[in-house]
Amino acid sequence: MEKIPGSGVPLIDMDLYRTFLTIAETSSFSKTAEIVGRTPSAVSMQIKKLETLLGVNVFNREGRSVRPTPEGEALLGYARRILTLNDEAVTLFRSPEVEGEVRFGAPSDFGTRFLPNFLARFARSHPGVNVDVSLDGSPQLVEKLKARELDLILITARPNSELARRGEIVFTEPLVWVGLGGGIAYERDPLPLAVSTSGCPWRRAARLALDKAGKPYRISYTSFHSAGQEAALVADLAIAPFPASVIEPPLQILDDRHGLPEIGNYHIIMEQRPQAGRATQAFASHVIECFREIAPTAAAALA
């Protein structure tokens, strides 16, 4: 058993972490075996080795399905960070040097949620690339891409909408109704809404859901930034459609128990300028990988 020199702590092979994460995401040893190219017995042996090294069980077996134990849940975050750091280190030294500039556009709310982490990690693995960021509404970003003012954009879109058919879906999660915990705004008639400006897919999805349910509403507060909408929620003056993964106290998710219909999912779509350069392609691959890591965390937040 290899150990960290001078510490007595065992070293865990990267393959064990990768297999562990794949099982956690698929809830299946057999599906994992297909993905990692091993036999189911070999996958079981890997997990047994991991559990022996850690001295705990990382999965509970429930028939054909498996789920992480509390110890396994705790390991998930560490495993993702360790593999990410390993991949960044290898990429830094083994990938061909990429230089240049990426003119990148994203919705303003995306900028505050995801962008700082994405940019920090990309800068470590691609120090020769400068990323020029533009935050705007999704329709405006599409126009800037058409005008070749941007190289790569992320936009939000409703499923089956025209925007959703423009590029590659890189992230999907539910939109939910949100209000002040213990508040009464959802009881008002007509229902007061705090939404973004016209053209926002979240605003459109919320209005369609209410129209379909026949529930009267009025636009009470409008703000381009979600922080402005949140202020109305905290004051218990309105409710709003928000991504499920961002809800924190004092706000709470509202549902059919509050007389509200489901809104449905929304997509984050990525689109590149035709004939984009190597720097843009490298950043696009980085963004896709970051969203793959975020997806299980977002799903766990909603569970």
| pLDDT tens, position by position, 85-118 | 887 777 666 656 788 999 999 998 877 778 888 8
- The mean pLDDT of the chain is 88
pLDDT of residue 35: 82
Residue 1 has pLDDT above 80, yes or no: no
Q: Rounded to an integer, what distance in angstroms lies between the CA atom of residue 142 and that of residue 126?
A: 26
| Residue with the two structure tokens 């499923």 | 159
pLDDT tens readout for residues 190-232: 999 999 988 888 999 999 999 999 999 999 999 988 889 999 9
d(CA 139, CA 112): 19
With bands split at pLDDT 50, 70 and 90, how would you rate the model's confidence at 6? Answer: low
Q: What percent of the chain has pLDDT over 70?
A: 92
Query: What would the two tokens of residue 91 be?
Result: 């990429």
What's the pLDDT score for residue 8? 65
The CA angle 35-25-107, to the nearest 5 degrees, is 110
Q: Please, where are the H alpha helices in the chain? A: 14-26, 29-36, 40-54, 70-94, 108-113, 115-125, 138-146, 201-213, 226-234, 278-302
Measured between alpha carbons, how far is residue 91 from residues 56, 94, 265 in Å?
32, 5, 34
Q: Please say if the pLDDT value at position 3 is more than 60.
A: no
pLDDT at 95: 59
- Report the C-alpha gap between 286 and 222 in whole angstroms: 33
Region of poorest pLDDT, from 1-10, 40-49, 71-80, 87-96: 1-10
More confident of the two residues 233 and 163: 233
In the chain, what are the domains?
14-94 (1.10.10.10), 100-172+267-302 (3.40.190.10), 174-264 (3.40.190.10)
The pLDDT of residue 146 is above 70:
yes
Task: Classify 147 as helix, strand or coil.
Answer: coil
Question: Tens of pLDDT along 250-259?
Answer: 999 999 999 9
Can you give the pLDDT at residue 192?
A: 98
**pLDDT at position 262 over 80:** yes
